[in-house]
Structure 1
Amino acid sequence: MDPLLESVRDQVQFTWPAWLIIAAYMIFTTWLGHRLSGRQATIRDFFLGGRRLPWYAVCGSIIATELSAMTLVVAPAFLWSATGDMSYAVLGVGTILARIVVGYWFVPHYYAEEIYSPYEYIGNRLGERAGRTTSLLFMLGGVLGQGTRVLLTAVVLQVVTGISIFWSIWIVGLVAVLWTWMGGITTVIWTDVIQFVVFLFSSLLMMLIVLWEFPPTGVVSPGLVFNLAWEEGKFHWLNFEFDLTQSYTVWAGLIASTIGGLAAYGTDQMLVQRLFCCRDPREARKAIIWSSAGQIMMVICLLTGVGLWAYYQRSGLPDTPNAWEAAQIAENTNRLVPVFIKFRMPWYLGGIMVAGIFAAAISSLDSILAALAQQTLAWTRGRRGEQQGDVREIALSRLYVILWAIVLCGMATVFQMLIVRELSSAEASGTFGSGLLIELALAVVGYTSGGILGFFLLALVPSWRVEGRGLEWAAALSVMTIFAITQHAGWAFTALLAAGAALIAAALGLLPERRAAFTLKLLPFIAGILLLNRVQTDGLRFAWPYGAGGGGEAAAFIRLGWPWFVPLGCLVMVTAAWTLCRRQGGRGAEEAPGG
């Protein structure tokens, strides 16, 4: 164990009785989820819950999955920095608007036929290639986004227990596999409902404990916290500046967050899979719209962050924070909540809090495992109708759950290695605490979500539809565009050059009847992406990526706040599809040629 951890062991409030609480919670949740799941006799039962789940259970599951441990642990850390405030909450406005659009526009189309995912809907209208491409984009985005959530939960486990981060990652993955394995989506949803209740209780509990511990009287002092936070601008949340490089403006909340919400609640299989489990479109609509209540818990967690900021930075209590607390928080602000649990909470309350964090984390992880397994099964099944029998497909689905859990835990390990390297660089330069996991998790999903939403809109609006041949190139251009504005080092430009060359080679080899015309249409997109990656905003000059003066991450390159990734990716996807592919002209729902 770390010598610094040994030196403060006697001060730690989190002891073995707290683990008894967590163990009891895990055992109870596992048992109850298994009892409620019923018998999974068919693949429809395993992935759709037989389409008989009540809307309120689905609603609670959506909230629990959406918020995850990211909200409970990292949202308070968002307030810790000198510029941290409540501006993150403005994005919630767009997510509520998006849920309404999804409920009234997307959901009826999903229930018009027996499908298991939005990507089947896309494939039925734009061709099988389009369905497979969107499925692949979802898998890529899911692994990137959920890998950060695995890591976040492992960080909590590491700080509280002293278990190495490596083993913490794999313990989290093991529990998620167990819950998903037992009963498919039905177990996932009913355990999510339990997680939702525990999550709500934990978020309220943490806020109350912070206030209770606050000086000078040792009793609830909300007025004192409010005054301190108000003076430092922690309650500021409305920024009307129209600046696309900023992530938390009113315009990002109204425009970017709404479009991003359409992608999350309308095309992300992890959340949409729940809507397919309702009895009818009316109940699915109620589930998605009422899930807007989850934004209340987001605000609670942000307010808790205000309290923790005041407690640690302005309290004036002796030994608050102690040397170990101060070092841990300064090195990585994502540790703020677990450090508070370890040193400032009584063991019984700490046990409840860690159970709540695990509840939030596992509800997201079992969700993505179920969604990834379903998509993998669709890939390996082959053409529609070539099923292998329910018993065999359920067995395969459970195998895919295990395989994807290994991939997610592996991705979390990679992210941890990258963060360690970043923190080492920060230590060398004398800076700490940068790189919030919540922004990393939300940003990496934006690489693929815009392309998926673009696919779905092309399928949904008859007059927008195109033939499937060529959509793979449009999807690649969408992902490359987001990569180009987020990575500006020389290696990134090399990667973009290689990707562009691969797209041209693929067009020449796979589209012999259209190679000349298609390549001429493709070249401007590739050239534009390369320029987007290297043009500097100070004088609009091109920065050569190699050699002296080539520029780097610190140069004034074109950048974009992460909420705008999805709108940009969607715009590129639709524009490229219209340019590269033949238009269907609203011919209805028949499969596109070439699928």
Structure 2
Amino acid sequence: MIWDIFVILIYFIIVFYFGFHFAKNTQKEDDFYLAKKEIHWVFLMLSLVATETSSLTFLSIPSLSYKTDFRFLEIAIGYIFGRTIVALYLLPSYFSGNTISVYEYVGNRFGKSPQRTISLVFTVSRLLGDGIRLYVSSLPIAFLMERMGFSVSPEILGILALTILSIVTIIYSVFGGFRAIVFTDVLQWIIYIFGGIFALVLIFSQFGNTEFSNAIEHLQSLGKWKVFVFDYNQTGDNSYFILFAIIGGSFISIGSHGTDLMLVQRVIATKNLHSGQKILIGSGIVVFFQFLLFLCIGSLLFVFYDGKSIPPDKVFSHFIITEVPSPFLGILVAAILASAMSTLSSTINSLSLTWARDWEMDKWFSPRILSLFFGVLLFLASLIPYTLVDTWEKGILEMGLTIFSYTLGPSIAVFFLAKGKKDLPITGSLFSLLFLFSILTTVGVGLVWKLSFTLLVPIGFGCLLGFVSIGKMLKKVDR
């Protein structure tokens, strides 16, 4: 146990080093938020992958194959298609001007009201979604503290773990800025990929050759290797029906990597369009193989824990804490911390950016003050899942995806309309109201008909386009 704590402390020291090493270069906005576009595209691509996959990938992806099979790879295939569309269609527009926030592009086309509205939606969805990510990453730390002999409730341990994680992330994000975040992301990506490979090898080592062959045959007989779902369920959940999954995955990726400032920030921080396109498409391929790695872990855990009652969303955390020997336990916990902190630091930086530029708060507050403020808000948001996880029917990963799915569809429609050559047929203020109404409509439709998260994005996309068309017709009638 002492060696595990030592490994984690070494990890924290390295993270602090990056934060303070780059602190002297973060006084100006273009450096604090984009590192003057001096970072090589490969580092930005790995930073993008580290940012988007987070602790939900490390801890929750195994739960999907533990419960079912490899069908989540359908979503990953959609991700590659979606990023390709963004790279070829939307990205050229982002490099045509001199914008730091991608929402400034919307403001240049449609005015301040739509720009600030989409910024506000981004802020709320990021605080809620990444609050879940922070919560998930705190679970193994709380388990570790429990093993160390802390005789308090799991809830108190979890909040204490969240506090430690938040403080460390806020410090290096506030002092180091975007440059420190990117290079820390690369380090964190290496750590958690190593952690995933180590976990897979460790589980594999628990089986003899004969046992492993039997396990593979057992998984195959149960259909646990299935990737594509061709059967449409008339009454149940069709999130992974092949058509819905690939189209939904494509829309999710278009929304996240084409309209979400936190992810787009890494793409426009490169020197030119060609490098940005390589970042987008390359990241999709890397993410696909990451998903494959962690789905393999979940399948082997299904055999390893055969007959035992363990909640799927906590099965990998349980394995890490109970089966991994010291000091490798410290390495895996550091990998979980790495996956969480890469997302959280990026969220802090991007929320600071959008409020500095889209809301012009840079007139009153420095980038570091804004980053500190949003770091504290993220910590508070991470406490929300304590009131939800016992009653939420779906897994914690799908919960996170659902939150973003409500807003991504209308956001995609905003940028596709901005990409068009025609001006808005309605006023910017009315457009902002329709944008918000389309999100509420998507939420209502999704809850009433209990639609899968893979359908929510295209529905939201169609809602805003439909509302704008209706507004255009009403305007003609008034004339």
Partner secondary structure for residue 229 of structure 1? helix
Query: In the TM superposition, what is the alpha-carbon distance from 1:55 to its structure 2 partner?
Result: 0.2
- How far apart are residue 179 of structure 1 and its match? 2.0
Counterpart residue type for residue 287 of structure 1? I
Aligned to 2:378: 408
Please give the alpha-carbon distance, in whole angstroms, between the structure 1 residues aligned to 2:41 and 2:212.
37
**Whole-Å separation in 1 of the counterparts to 2:263 and 2:56:** 16
Show the counterpart of 2:102: 118
Alpha-carbon contact 2:22-2:177 (below 8 Å) kept = no
8 Å Cα contact 1:450-1:566 kept in structure 2: yes
The answer to whether the 8 A contact 2:78-2:247 is kept is: yes
Q: Of residues 369, 385, 388 in structure 2, which corresponds to 1:399?
A: 369
Match of 2:264 in 1: 272
Percent identical pairs in the alignment equals 22
Alignment of 1:573 onto 2:460: no
Amino acid at match of 2:245: G
Match of 1:288 in 2: 280
- 1:230 matches 2:220: yes
Q: Which has the higher helix share?
A: 2
How many correspondences in the alignment? 463
User: What is the Cα deviation at residue 380 of structure 1?
Assistant: 4.1
For residues 373 and 230 of structure 1, do their structure 2 counterparts lie closer, same or farther at Cα, with a shift above 3 Å needed? same
Instruction: Quote the residue 1:103 is aligned against.
Output: 87
Deviations 1:119-156 (A, max 9, x none): 11011101111101110111111112111101101112
Tell me the residue number matched to 1:515. none
Listed as ranges, the matches of 1:30-49 within 5 Å are 30-35=16-21, 39-49=25-35
Structure 1: which amino acid aligns with 2:215?
V
Where in structure 1 are there 5+ consecutive unaligned residues?
1-14, 315-320, 424-433, 488-532, 534-557, 586-595
Q: How far apart, CA to CA, are the structure 1 residues paired with 2:169 and 2:210?
A: 37
Pick from 303, 314, 318: which aligns with 1:335? 314
Q: CA deviation at 1:581?
A: 4.9
Which residue matches 1:304?
297
**Alignment RMSD:** 2.2
With 350-359 and 241-250 compared, the bigger mean Cα shift is at: 241-250
Instruction: Note the alpha carbon deviations across 1:513-532, whole angstroms, 9 max, x for none.
Output: xxxxxxxxxxxxxxxxxxxx
Deviations 1:536-579 (A, max 9, x none): xxxxxxxxxxxxxxxxxxxxxx2211011111111101111222
**Structure 2 residue 213 is the aligned partner of structure 1 residue 205:** no
Contact 1:211–1:221 (CA<8 Å) still a contact in 2? no
The Cα of 1:472 is off from its aligned counterpart by: 1.8
Over 3 Å counting, the alpha-carbon distance change for 1:38 and 1:90 in structure 2 is: farther
Matched, 1:68 2:68: no
CA pair 373-582 structure 1, distance change in 2 beyond 3 A: farther
User: Which structure: larger Rg?
Assistant: 1
Q: 1: CA distance between counterparts of 2:211 and 2:204?
A: 6
- TM-score, scaled to structure 1: 0.74
Q: Is the 8 A contact 1:101 1:262 kept in 2?
A: yes
Quick one: which of 251, 260, 268 aligns to 1:259?
A: 251
Q: Could you report, residue by residue, the CA deviation over 1:404-460 in whole angstroms, capped at 9, with x for unpaired residues?
A: 22222222212112224x28xxxxxxxxxx531101011011121112111111101
| Alignment-mate amino acid for residue 480 of structure 1 | L
The yes-or-no answer on 1:240 pairing with 2:131 is no
1:376 pairs with 2:345: no
Matches of 1:408 and 1:575 in 2, distance apart? Answer: 34
Deviations 1:168-199 (A, max 9, x none): 22222212211211221111111001111112
Secondary structure (helix, strand or coil) at the match of 1:313 reads coil
Q: Which runs of 5+ in 2 are unaligned?
A: 147-155
> CA shift at 1:301, angstroms?
0.1
Q: Deviations over 1:56-84 (max 9, x none)?
A: 00000011111111111111112233xx1
Q: Secondary structure at the match of 1:143?
A: helix
Deviation at 1:213, TM superposition (A): 1.4
Show the counterpart of 1:512: none
2:437 pairs with 1:477 = yes
TM superposition shift of 1:33: 4.9
| Change over 3 Å in CA distance of 1:59–1:464 after alignment to 2 | same
